Structure 1
Amino acid sequence: MARIAFILLCHKDPKGVVAQANRLTASGDYVSIHFDARANLRDFELIRSELADNPSVVFAAKRWKCGWGEWSLVGATLEAVRAAVASFPLATHFYMLSGDCMPIKSAEYAHAFLDAEDCDYIENFDFFESDWIKTGFKEERLIYRHWFNERTQPKRFYASYELQKRFKITRQIPSDIQVRIGSQWWCLRRQTVERVLEFCASRPDVMRFFATTWIPDETFFQTVVPHVVPRKELRPRTLTYLVFTDYGMPVTFYNDHYDLLMGQNYLFARKISPEALRLRERLGALWAAEGVHFPISNEATGLFRFLTGRGRVGRRFAPRFWETDGTLGRENSLRLIVSKKWHIAKRLTEAIRTHTDIPAVDYLFNEAEARLPDLGGVENTVSKRHRHRKALLRLLFEQFDANRLVICLDPSGMHLIQDLASDKTDTRVLLIDSHFDDDYLRGHIGRVGLAGPETSEEVIERLLPTVRADLEHEAERLRDIEFTSFHSIAPWRSAEDNAVQIARFLDVMPEMGRELASTQFLFAE
């Protein structure tokens, strides 16, 4: 059975460190602790005294003064790893943790998970080809030497960088090394850790290179492990669950996140708020539990993106710079059919194409197939249409040789609707109101990735009210905007009422409005 030696890097909360070490070792596992040399000495002495009688705990022989982005973080990790390898000969796996991490599975589950496959878990993506680095330095991390810390010595950091850049003082990456990048939270087998330590002893050139690399905790192990282990034995993922905000900061979890965390396909999670005492208590008890079933849903990241992606109404988006002075033309009239239920909107556009001479296309900003004519390639991808949306619409007016055009939009694209409605052209909006029953919401949850096939019914039931409220809020936001010409139809209104609204929206005779409103199965699910 797997026995884990946890490599615990910490710098605060001595009581929490003691509790974490005792909890992890109670399951038959081990803990190797590196406590930052910058931290309070009395805190370190408290930890040592409290854990002195625990034979499954060892301390790094050397304490490093750690700084974010520095080699010191890798040095501290290697010290803790060496201590663990020497002290715990029965350890089969070595798992990186921080003081902010907590288990989200039981020890029983974790051991069975690691026993199931003989492999290492470490993110390792190509440094240059992947988009793992979103902003800031990329190649500069490697080709220049970094002796100073950006956060504590910013003037020296950037002065050193600018001098090297100005005088072209660069260096070569070791020729036999392919630099890779990923999360610092890994889980490696014993034989892998021993090979890494042998590599460190035999390759001082590589050690010197990474010692002056910026943020080496994201590249050192991620590069060395694939160098000493066959790729087929590597799984490019972390077993520690974490989510980052749009600003690159890790999301903190609180008391009400317990069920959500349990459903993720990971063994630990960070960051757990120090104030989330109830969550810490429950997760701590979970590690010692036996016979617990964990239905994996993996909906947490999707739910976070879904909820935070709503933005602040009216402030999240701005017009594309090339469209600031663009217009669709005062002589043209754009008609926007806005509907969450795409199949209903498409039935209406099909009827408009059949019974009138008004050109109508479907969800051209949402799906590739939208009943568009050939426009010479500008229409090939949805992303290209978004980048040049007004240019695309002008082309459609020209292609159809018409001054009226109907398009379909999803109400979630509020920024797009507002942008088009603010144009100098005559813009009219037709909202198709809908009820959202539980069956529809379940399908929507699956379509947007909030839940997967393995998501439990209990999790989905918890999501239903949130998603329903969000969809209803989209329609309310649309009504709150003071459009010059706003109309709406709904399945619960009379056919005559819907006919009047459609006729005014399209500017057609009442008879044609009635013809379109009576489209067979228009509102059918």
Structure 2
Amino acid sequence: MSQIAFILLCHKDPQGIIDKAERLTAAGDYVAIHFDGRASDTDYARIRSALDENPHVAFAPRRVKCGWGEWSLVKATLLALETAVEAFPRATHFYMISGDCMAIKSAEYAHAFLDAEDVDYIESFDFFESDWIKTGLKEERLIYRHFFNERENKWLFYRSLELQKALGLSRRIPEDLEMRIGSQWWCLRRNTVEAILDFCRQRRDVLRFFSTTWIPDETFFQTLVPHLVPRAEIRTRTLTFLMFTDYGMPVTFYNDHYDLLLSQDYLFARKISPHAHELKRRLGELYNATGVHFQISNEGTRLFKFLTQRGRVGRRFAPRFWESEASLGRDRQLLIVACKKWHVAKRLIDRIREVAGLPVIGYLFNEQDTPLPDLGGIQTTIEKRHRHRRALMRMLFDYYDTKRLVICLDPASIDLMRDFYSDRGETRLLEVQCSFSDEYLIGHAKRVGLMGENAPRETAELILPTIRRSVAEESEAIRDEGFPHLYVMRDGWEPQLNARPLAQFLDLSEDRAREIAETDYLFAD
């Protein structure tokens, strides 16, 4: 009978990791854990303390600092695999999962499923001929070297790529390998895993090649398995049920998806919402149940496609069967800094990030060049950001793995403020009121197209009173809305006066808020 060693890569939710490991090992299976080196040492110590005495749990010998799209994810996986192979000699299969994955079948069903065929389960499609990559870089992933993290150092990532192209610094793919691509969620037999580890020890050149490819967790194992295993012993599929939105983001499952998940022809699913407590409880109980019959209909992907093509929510058969754009999340807090002088607000949020440790984003709904992570295309234009404003904000909360996020808005964006204040999450607004010289207002008029660059001074003097009144009316409009949690800082106030509203806005002590308010040249032009 099969016994599974789960290769668990995770970076948060220590209690969830402990619960998951205890559930999986209670059924006689094993778990090898790699906890991200970037994550909390306190959380890791808590996991070790709870699971060190469990003989069916092992930990990777060291913690790699993992980054999306980097070789570090493959390195962490290999460390956990080596640990599992040595620690669990009875394991017959090695199944890759994340902290967001949960079993959607019983252990009894999973073992019988794996016993039915002596094969590996891994997506492995031709890298160049298949359409697995829908948009973005393709051949460039392989033939150029990638030294920077695309999400953390976007400018360096693409500048390095452009420079290599300009200098003709492309490289050859290892000649004896047929490049393949597919999902990183696989289940491999023991012989296959041992062959991969032996290959890694012998072919350091291949490891060097993959170590500077982009997103190697989608190509490394997918290429090596067909190189080492007869094709007849490979099922080109994943056993983990996952779907992606049109923006390339994983679909998240909630409490009302329990019956649908059980009917899919998969053993696990991701991503399970961290807030779907009832779904987690029911799936957790299911894994150790016996005698459960599963009626497989496997309609999940087709149903999701049908529902998302139905247009607005009112045309779907339920307000939120898959995912609603109606809320940022009840337990999330959006902190908005509204300031007409964009450079002042940007200085302020930079200090907020340094002192309060909160993730901050500039004028994402007003300025096209605001630095944003790659969210599958939804972030590419201001028009898309406005059209999918709540979906975009949810993705940003998820990307930064935070409950509190600071953004900047121009005071004219009253419609956005109304929309966010109508959300079930909590919205707070800090208006930063500035003084405006004539020269500044003239420059503002030119930036927004009210005046040409070479407009005569007489024209400027004619429209200056109107511009000044318009700026004042925007500030009045914010107060007229009666927004709760509205705070005001002013150019000209002493730092201790500005620290009080800032402390309330950020839930900081006045001493720490004063550190921010005392920023040099905060209001300077």
Compute the TM-score of the two structures, normalised by the length of structure 2. Answer: 0.59
C-alpha distance in structure 1 between counterparts of 2:313 and 2:113, whole Å: 43
Once the 2 structures are TM-superposed, how far is the Cα of residue 87 of structure 1 from its aligned partner?
Answer: 0.2
SS at match of 2:79: helix
Q: Which digits, 9 at most, give the CA deviation of each residue in 1:479-517, with x for residues without a partner? A: xxxxxxxxxxxxxxxxxxxxxxxxxxxxxxxxxxxxxxx
| Structure 1 match to 2:446 | none
| Structure 1 match to 2:5 | 5
Once the 2 structures are TM-superposed, how far is the Cα of residue 311 of structure 1 from its aligned partner?
Answer: 2.5
| Structure 2 match to 1:100 | 100
**Match runs of 1:112-191 below 5 Å:** 112-191=112-191
C-alpha distance in structure 1 between counterparts of 2:194 and 2:209, whole Å: 21
One-letter identity of the residue aligned with 1:220: F
C-alpha distance in structure 2 between counterparts of 1:266 and 1:77, whole Å: 22
| Structure 1 match to 2:221 | 221
SS at match of 2:94: strand
| Structure 2 match to 1:280 | 280
Matched, 1:84 2:84: yes
The change in CA–CA distance for 1:4 and 1:313 in structure 2 (over 3 A counts) is: closer
C-alpha distance in structure 1 between counterparts of 2:97 and 2:146, whole Å: 26
Q: Which digits, 9 at most, give the CA deviation of each residue in 1:115-159, with x for residues without a partner? A: 000000000000000000000000000000001001001111111
| Structure 1 match to 2:235 | 235
Gaps of 5+ in 1: 315-525
One-letter identity of the residue aligned with 1:89: P
Task: State the structure with more CA Rg.
Answer: 1
Matched, 1:49 2:49: yes
SS at match of 1:188: strand
One-letter identity of the residue aligned with 2:52: A
- CA-atom RMSD, angstroms? 1.3
Once the 2 structures are TM-superposed, how far is the Cα of residue 256 of structure 1 from its aligned partner?
Answer: 0.4
| Structure 2 match to 1:457 | none
| Structure 1 match to 2:36 | 36
Identity of matched residues, %:
72
Q: Which digits, 9 at most, give the CA deviation of each residue in 1:287-317, with x for residues without a partner? A: 0110000010001111110010122499xxx
One-letter identity of the residue aligned with 1:227: H
One-letter identity of the residue aligned with 2:288: A
SS at match of 1:237: coil
SS at match of 1:273: coil
SS at match of 2:157: helix
**Match runs of 1:295-374 below 5 Å:** 295-312=295-312
| Structure 2 match to 1:27 | 27
C-alpha distance in structure 2 between counterparts of 1:89 and 1:136, whole Å: 42
C-alpha distance in structure 2 between counterparts of 1:289 and 1:259, whole Å: 16
C-alpha distance in structure 2 between counterparts of 1:53 and 1:312, whole Å: 52
Q: Show structure 1 runs of 4+ deviating over 6 A.
A: none
Once the 2 structures are TM-superposed, how far is the Cα of residue 223 of structure 1 from its aligned partner?
Answer: 0.2
**Match runs of 1:410-421 below 5 Å:** none
| Structure 1 match to 2:347 | none
Q: Which digits, 9 at most, give the CA deviation of each residue in 1:371-393, with x for residues without a partner? A: xxxxxxxxxxxxxxxxxxxxxxx
One-letter identity of the residue aligned with 2:138: K
SS at match of 2:252: coil
SS at match of 2:257: helix
C-alpha distance in structure 2 between counterparts of 1:159 and 1:296, whole Å: 48
**Match runs of 1:369-408 below 5 Å:** none
Matched, 1:75 2:75: yes
C-alpha distance in structure 2 between counterparts of 1:216 and 1:200, whole Å: 14
SS at match of 1:251: coil
SS at match of 1:105: coil
Once the 2 structures are TM-superposed, how far is the Cα of residue 168 of structure 1 from its aligned partner?
Answer: 1.0
C-alpha distance in structure 1 between counterparts of 2:85 and 2:127, whole Å: 29
| Structure 1 match to 2:294 | 294
Judge which range, 11-20 or 155-164, deviates more. Answer: 155-164
C-alpha distance in structure 1 between counterparts of 2:69 and 2:26, whole Å: 33
Q: Which digits, 9 at most, give the CA deviation of each residue in 1:333-377, with x for residues without a partner? A: xxxxxxxxxxxxxxxxxxxxxxxxxxxxxxxxxxxxxxxxxxxxx
| Structure 2 match to 1:410 | none
Gaps of 5+ in 2: 315-525
Compute the TM-score of the two structures, normalised by the length of structure 1. Answer: 0.59
